[in-house]
C-alpha cells in the first residue's frame, strides 16, 4: 500500500495538520491557512496605507488641509476670506479625488472646476498663483480672448494645454495633475441672443470648444501651440484630473443682479448712503443664472459648479496690500535696494497718498504697483551709484514724482 504524501506549505515549511490545513493553490504551490491569513492581513494593511495616502500627492508631498491652504493664502492675498474658503475646499477635494483608489468602491467623485467673479485688481489671478505655489504643481495662466473656434484666425482651444505642458517640460503625467487658470472668461460671453448671419467664433464658439476640456477627456494638443495642421505630431493629454479655475471681471453683471433682486427701494429708512453700499456689494449675490444672463452658455456654467465672488478692495485693504503680503511691492523694492547696500523706508504719509491715488483711479491692487513704479523710477536710477546708504520716501517725494510723470488725473474744468 502506497504511503500517503503529506502536504507542506511553501512559505513557512510546516506540514499539514488538522488545525492548519494546507491548500493547493496551483500545481506544486501549496500554502497553509495561517500563511493565507497573513497574506490577507498584509493586503488589507497596504490598502489602508494607500487610502490614508489620499492626503498625499503621487510625489509623496503632503496635501494641506483647507485651513492650512487658507492660512497660506493669507500670506499673499489680503482679505477675500469667502473666496479663499471656497478655493481651499475645492482644491483639497480635487486632490483627494485624483488620489483615491479606484478599487475601493464604486463611488466616482466628479471634478469641481471653479469660477471667480470680481472687479479687476482684486486678486483673482494671485489666488490661483498662490495655490499652485503651495501645491508645487504645474500651473499656467491663459487668456481666453486669444482663443477662437477651430478653423478661424486665432489660437485653437487645445493650445491652452500647450502652456501647461511647457510649464512642466512636457511631462504629460505631471501636466495631467496641474492647474489651468483661464483669465478673462467673461470676454467670450455670447455677443447677442439675436440670430446673426455671422458666426460667433470668439464667443459662443470658444465656449462650446471648452466644454470637453472642462468636463474631462483625452485631447490632442499641438506641442508648439497655435493652429493645428494635419501633419503635426500631437500630444494626447487627459484633462480629467486637471483643475480649471476661471476668472473674469464680468463688468456690468451688477445690473443683471440688481434686476433679479429688484433692489430699488421706496420709503423711509433707506438713505442714499445705504443704497450705494448695497449697490457696491451686489457682486456677492451673484448666481449661475446671472452668468447665463451675461452671456455664458448653460453647458459651461454646469461644468463650473463652484461659483464665488471677490469683494472690491476698500482703503484699508489697499493699505495692507502695500506692506503686509510676503511679496508686497514695498518689500520688493526694499529687497532690490538692499542688494545695492541701500536701506529703503516708506513714510506712512507716503503710503496713504499712494492708496488715495489708487482709489482715485479705480485700478485696484494693480494701481498700487503702477503708482509705486512711477514713484520709484528716479530713486532706482540714482541709488546704485549714490554714496547714500539710506533712502526715505515721504509724501512730498511721492507727490513730486507723480506730477513729474504727469500721473495726476486730468480734470476738465466746467
CATH at residue 242:
3.40.50.300
Residue 412 lies in a domain: no
**What distance lies between CA 322 and its chain's CA centroid?**
23
pLDDT at 343 over 80: yes
Supply the angle between the helices 124-135 and 66-74 in degrees, to the nearest 10: 120
Predicted confidence at residue 4, as pLDDT, reads: 60
Predicted confidence at residue 201, as pLDDT, reads: 62
pLDDT at 115 over 90: yes
More confident residue, 282 or 246: 246
Residue 1 lies in a domain: no
Question: Cell numbers of 335, please?
Answer: 529687497
Q: Are residues 42 and 148 in the same domain?
A: no
Q: Are residues 208 and 229 in the same domain?
A: yes
**Domain end position, chosen among 267, 283, 309:** 309
Q: Are residues 124 and 90 in the same domain?
A: yes
Q: Are residues 72 and 213 in the same domain?
A: yes
Residue 216 lies in a domain: yes
Instruction: Tell me the average pLDDT across 29-42.
Output: 84
Question: Cell numbers of 334, please?
Answer: 526694499
The two counts, helices (H) then strands (E), for the chain are: 16, 11
pLDDT at 359 over 70: yes
pLDDT at 225 over 70: no
More confident residue, 149 or 382: 382
Residue 265 lies in a domain: yes
pTM: 0.71
Per-residue b or e along 297-329, where b marks 16 or more CB atoms closer than 10 Å to that residue's CB: beebbebbeebbbbbbbeeebbbebbeebeebb
Residue 15: helix, strand or coil by DSSP?
A: strand
Q: Which of 13-17, 94-98, 158-162, 331-335 has the lowest mean pLDDT?
A: 94-98
**Domain end position, chosen among 309, 344, 374:** 309
More confident residue, 304 or 22: 304
Banded pLDDT at 354 (limits 50, 70, 90): very high
Predicted confidence at residue 348, as pLDDT, reads: 92
Q: In 145-252, at which residue ranges do the beta strands (DSSP E only) sit?
A: 179-183, 218-221, 235-238, 243-248
Q: Are residues 235 and 287 in the same domain?
A: yes
Q: Are residues 191 and 288 in the same domain?
A: yes
pLDDT at 205 over 90: no
Mean pLDDT of the chain: 80
Predicted confidence at residue 49, as pLDDT, reads: 62
Q: Are residues 214 and 266 in the same domain?
A: yes
Report how many domains make up the chain: 3
Residue 409 lies in a domain: no
Q: Are residues 232 and 340 in the same domain?
A: no
Q: Are residues 335 and 279 in the same domain?
A: no
State residue 139 phi and psi, 5-degree precision: -140, 140
- Residues belonging to the chain: 414
d(CA 147, CA 155): 5
Instruction: Tell me the average pLDDT across 126-131.
Output: 84
Q: Are residues 248 and 326 in the same domain?
A: no
Banded pLDDT at 413 (limits 50, 70, 90): very low
Residue 83 lies in a domain: yes
**Domain end position, chosen among 279, 309, 339:** 309
Using alpha carbons only, give the angle 404, 408, 410 rounded to the nearest 5 degrees.
Answer: 125
**What's the first-to-final CA gap in the chain, in angstroms?**
125
pLDDT at 346 over 90: yes
150-162 residue pLDDT tens: 656 567 788 888 8
Residue 270 lies in a domain: yes
Kind of pairing, strands 306-309 and 114-117? parallel
Residue 414 lies in a domain: no
pLDDT at 72 over 70: yes
> Torsion angle of alpha carbons 218, 223, 227, 229, nearest 10°?
-80
Predicted confidence at residue 272, as pLDDT, reads: 54
Question: Cell numbers of 135, please?
Answer: 501645491
Supply the angle between the helices 395-404 and 348-361 in degrees, to the nearest 10: 40
The range of the structural domain enclosing residue 383 comes to 315-404
Question: Cell numbers of 189, please?
Answer: 460671453
Residue 67: helix, strand or coil by DSSP?
A: helix
Of 144, 215, 240, nearest to 186 by C-alpha is: 144
Question: Cell numbers of 93, please?
Answer: 477635494
Q: List Cα–Cα distances, 236 to 58, 175, 197, in angstroms.
A: 21, 11, 35
Phi-psi region of 79 (alpha: psi -120 to 50; beta: other; left: phi over 0): left
d(CA 9, CA 222): 57
Q: Are residues 213 and 76 in the same domain?
A: yes
Q: Are residues 184 and 79 in the same domain?
A: yes
Are the CB atoms for 33 and 21 separated by under 8 Å? yes
Amino acid at each position: 500500500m502506497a504511503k500517503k504524501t503529506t502536504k507542506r506549505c511553501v512559505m513557512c515549511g510546516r506540514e499539514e495538520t488538522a488545525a492548519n490545513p494546507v491548500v493547493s493553490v496551483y500545481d506544486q504551490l501549496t500554502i497553509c491557512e495561517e500563511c493565507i491569513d497573513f497574506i490577507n492581513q498584509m493586503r488589507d494593511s497596504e490598502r489602508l496605507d494607500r487610502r490614508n495616502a489620499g492626503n498625499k500627492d503621487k510625489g509623496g508631498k503632503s496635501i494641506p488641509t483647507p485651513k492650512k491652504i487658507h492660512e497660506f493664502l493669507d500670506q499673499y492675498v489680503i482679505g477675500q476670506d469667502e473666496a479663499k474658503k471656497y478655493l481651499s475646499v475645492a482644491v483639497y477635494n480635487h486632490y483627494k479625488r485624483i488620489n483615491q483608489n479606484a478599487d475601493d468602491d464604486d463611488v466616482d467623485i466628479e471634478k469641481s472646476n471653479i469660477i471667480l467673479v470680481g472687479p479687476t485688481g482684486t486678486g483673482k489671478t494671485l489666488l490661483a498663483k498662490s495655490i499652485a505655489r503651495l501645491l508645487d504643481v504645474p500651473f499656467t495662466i491663459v487668456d481666453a480672448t486669444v482663443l477662437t473656434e477651430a478653423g478661424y484666425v486665432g489660437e485653437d482651444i487645445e493650445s491652452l494645454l500647450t502652456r501647461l505642458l511647457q510649464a512642466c517640460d512636457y511631462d504629460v503625467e505631471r501636466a495631467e495633475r496641474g492647474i489651468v487658470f483661464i483669465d478673462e472668461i467673461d470676454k467670450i460671453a455670447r455677443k447677442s441672443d439675436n440670430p446673426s448671419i455671422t458666426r460667433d467664433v470668439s464667443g459662443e464658439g470658444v465656449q462650446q470648444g471648452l466644454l470637453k476640456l472642462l468636463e474631462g477627456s483625452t485631447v490632442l494638443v499641438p506641442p508648439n501651440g497655435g493652429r493645428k495642421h494635419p501633419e503635426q505630431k500631437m500630444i494626447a493629454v487627459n484633462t480629467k484630473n486637471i483643475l480649471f479655475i476661471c476668472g473674469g471681471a464680468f463688468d456690468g453683471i451688477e445690473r443683471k443682479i440688481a434686476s433679479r433682486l429688484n433692489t430699488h427701494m421706496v420709503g423711509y429708512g433707506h438713505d442714499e448712503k445705504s443704497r450705494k453700499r448695497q449697490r457696491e456689494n451686489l457682486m456677492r449675490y451673484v448666481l449661475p443664472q446671472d452668468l447665463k444672463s451675461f452671456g455664458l452658455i448653460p453647458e459651461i456654467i454646469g461644468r463650473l459648479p463652484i461659483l464665488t465672488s471677490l469683494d472690491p478692495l476698500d482703503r484699508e485693504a489697499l493699505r495692507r496690500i502695500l506692506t503686509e503680503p510676503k511679496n508686497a511691492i514695498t518689500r520688493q523694492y526694499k529687497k532690490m535696494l538692499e542688494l545695492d547696500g541701500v536701506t529703503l523706508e516708506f513714510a506712512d504719509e507716503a503710503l496713504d497718498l499712494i492708496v488715495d491715488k489708487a482709489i482715485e483711479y479705480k485700478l485696484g491692487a494693480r494701481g498700487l504697483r503702477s503708482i509705486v513704479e512711477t514713484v520709484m523710477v528716479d530713486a532706482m536710477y540714482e541709488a546704485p551709484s549714490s554714496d547714500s546708504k539710506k533712502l526715505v520716501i515721504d509724501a512730498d517725494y511721492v507727490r513730486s514724482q507723480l506730477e513729474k510723470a504727469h500721473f495726476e488725473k486730468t480734470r476738465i474744468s466746467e
